Amino acid sequence: MHFSNKAKYPWMLFARVFLIQIVAYNLLFVGFLVFWEVIRGGVREFYPIGFIYIFGTFFISSLLSHLVSRPVARIVHKAHFLSSKRLARELGPVDDDLLVSEFGEFAEIENALNKIDRKIRKSKDSFNREKEEIQALMGSVEDGLVSFALDGKLMFFNSHFARLFLKADRIRTEESIYITNIFRAPELFDAFEKVKNGGHPIKITLYLEDLQNSFSHFYAVTLAPLRKIEDASIYGVTSAFHDITEIKRAEQIRIDFIGNASHELRTPITTIKGYAETILEDLQRGSLDGDTKKFLEIILRNADRLTSLVEDMMEIHSLENDPDLNFEEVSVRDITQQVIGDLAVIADSKKQIVDLKCEGIDLINVDKLKLEQVLKNLIGNAIKYSDVKSQVKVIWSSEDNGNCILRVIDNGPGIPEHHLARLFERFYRVDRGRSRDQGGTGLGLAIVKHIMQTHGGSVTVKSTLGVGSEFICTFPSELSVSRT
């Protein structure tokens, strides 16, 4: 039978069995000599036999000790193989049927070890499979999952939590990471202590910094205790970080929209109501004067403003919920020149030049009326917000990937960077007073954004203070752009 040379032979057991046999055999021999001397009166004739007996007992004891020690050594070898990967590597491979030629209890021990081995392998395979499933599940969860020991030491985290809060170099180090190393949020630490001491789950909302990307985020954090199965004692705290930044942003946009819409509607309504009351009082006194016509013109102008606001709001609602697009081939040069012509009076009053260039693009398959709205809003804004004797550039071009690009460039005052992210929100104004004086509803850029989205495209803005702004509309290649 094969036995690895790397296995440790049980010399202690061998020596013990050997000595026990030697002592037993020699005591038996001495006892026999004493008996013979008493009966026969001499033992001299037994000297040769005694030496042979002594050597024979050494040989027989060694053989029997080895026969007993060998299966024990192999059993120990297999036990080490089952208990430790390190010892298994050191001792080498082990046969599945170590003791097939052995007898009695040794064979039973071998069978028991084989059963244990099969159970361990089965449990290990099941554990590894469940571990992979859990890791795949934790990796696919969009929430950041983490667990801490009672002292705040990090025990487990999923990949999303690592991307949000842990630096790569910190993950690779073997140093312990604590909750205080990751966060600077007293409210989170307080919640951690309450869960640890009270044993009840807690939900809180946190405003935290994304350490990887330097963005501010809102998180809904749920903390719950981890308990031992045997005595239900708490040994840690698990937490789930759910990013609610978009929800918070949507709530803020809704709040801003209601506030801005109310303000935009209240101004013309207040004006109409005030002048209407004035005219009514004059009628009651029978003293209408020359100001009545001016008052009526103001009322009409504000009524028109209300009409424009309502129409723009209905336009956005239609674009968001049920956009009805009529696609047709449109000449980008013709439609742009038409819009420039419609706005020529405003441009001429400010002695501005509107320059049109069409580079590699002639026809585009879009909703003509919607494209006209985009051009009127962007070119109109460029004219309104640019200085006297300035220049507005309108450039159509195509990209290598087939996308069609519309760029409207002005050399006006520019837009501060902190306004750019919210510029396409409804009723959002960079300069509320100046924008309202220009006659806008505050919905033009929001309409542009929604029109581009319904066409599968996008709109972005670049701006530098004191230099000017550039609005970029990207139409996807699927709109069958034809090139000249």
Domains and CATH numbers, the chain: 11-120 (no CATH), 142-243 (3.30.450.20), 249-321 (1.10.287.130), 327-479 (3.30.565.10)
User: DSSP per residue over 408-436, as a string?
Assistant: EEE-SS---HHHHTTTTSTT--SSHHHHH
Residues 116 and 83: beta-carbon distance below 8 Å: no
Can you name the residues that pair with 215 across neighbouring β-strands?
210
Helix (DSSP H) and strand (DSSP E) numbers for the chain: 16, 12
Closest CA to 30 of 39, 43, 15, 45: 43
Q: pTM for the complete prediction? A: 0.50
Closest CA to 407 of 342, 469, 334, 329: 469
Q: What is the rounded distance in angstroms from the CA atom of residue 337 to the CA atom of residue 353?
A: 13
Burial class (CB in 10 A: 0-12, 13-18, 19+), 208: buried
* φ, ψ of residue 416 in degrees (nearest 5): -55, 145
Closest CA to 354 of 392, 385, 298, 380: 392
The dihedral through the CA atoms of 354, 355, 358, 359 has a sign that is negative
Which residue type occupies 371?
A: L
Q: What's residue 3's pLDDT?
A: 44
Q: What is the rounded distance in angstroms from the CA atom of residue 341 to the CA atom of residue 344?
A: 5
User: DSSP per residue over 71-105, as a string?
Assistant: HHHHHHHHHHHHH-HHHHHHH----S-TTTT--TH
- For the beta carbon of residue 355, count every other beta carbon within 10 angstroms: 11
Q: What's residue 65's pLDDT?
A: 72
DSSP, res 207:
E
- For the beta carbon of residue 464, count every other beta carbon within 10 angstroms: 11
Residues 206 and 185: beta-carbon distance below 8 Å: yes
Burial class (CB in 10 A: 0-12, 13-18, 19+), 16: middle
Residues 270 and 305: beta-carbon distance below 8 Å: no
Closest CA to 393 of 447, 340, 463, 438: 340
Q: Quick one: how far is CA 167 from the chain centroid?
A: 14
Residues 393 and 450: beta-carbon distance below 8 Å: no
Q: What is the rounded distance in angstroms from the CA atom of residue 429 to the CA atom of residue 446?
A: 11
Q: What is the pLDDT along the chain (484 residues), one digit of tens a residue?
A: 444 444 566 677 677 777 777 777 777 766 666 656 655 555 555 556 666 666 777 777 777 777 777 777 777 777 766 666 555 555 455 554 444 455 556 666 767 777 877 887 788 888 778 777 776 776 677 788 889 999 999 888 888 888 888 876 566 665 788 888 888 889 999 999 999 998 899 999 988 765 555 567 889 999 999 998 888 889 999 999 988 888 887 777 777 767 767 777 777 888 888 888 888 887 777 766 667 778 888 888 888 878 877 777 777 777 777 777 888 999 999 999 999 999 999 899 999 999 999 988 889 999 998 999 999 999 999 998 888 889 999 999 988 888 899 999 998 888 888 888 888 877 777 765 544 555 556 788 888 998 999 889 999 999 988 889 999 999 998 876 655 4
Which residue is associated with the tokens 């003293």?
Answer: 287
Which residue is associated with the tokens 């005219």?
Answer: 279
Q: What is the rounded distance in angstroms from the CA atom of residue 449 to the CA atom of residue 375?
A: 12
* Strand ordering across the sheet containing 234-243: 154-157, 144-149, 234-243, 215-227, 202-210
Which residue is associated with the tokens 């690895």?
Answer: 4
Closest CA to 479 of 407, 392, 401, 415: 401
Task: Give the CA distances from residue 45 to residues 25, 37, 42, 51, in Å, rounded to whole numbers and listed in that order.
Answer: 20, 11, 8, 12
Q: Quick one: how far is CA 170 from the chain centroid?
A: 18
Q: What is the rounded distance in angstroms from the CA atom of residue 472 to the CA atom of residue 461?
A: 6
Which residue type occupies 189?
A: F
Structure tokens, 481: 């752009």
**What's the Rg (C-alpha) of the chain?**
45
Structure tokens, 394: 């309108």
Q: What's residue 333's pLDDT?
A: 92
Which residue type occupies 304?
A: D
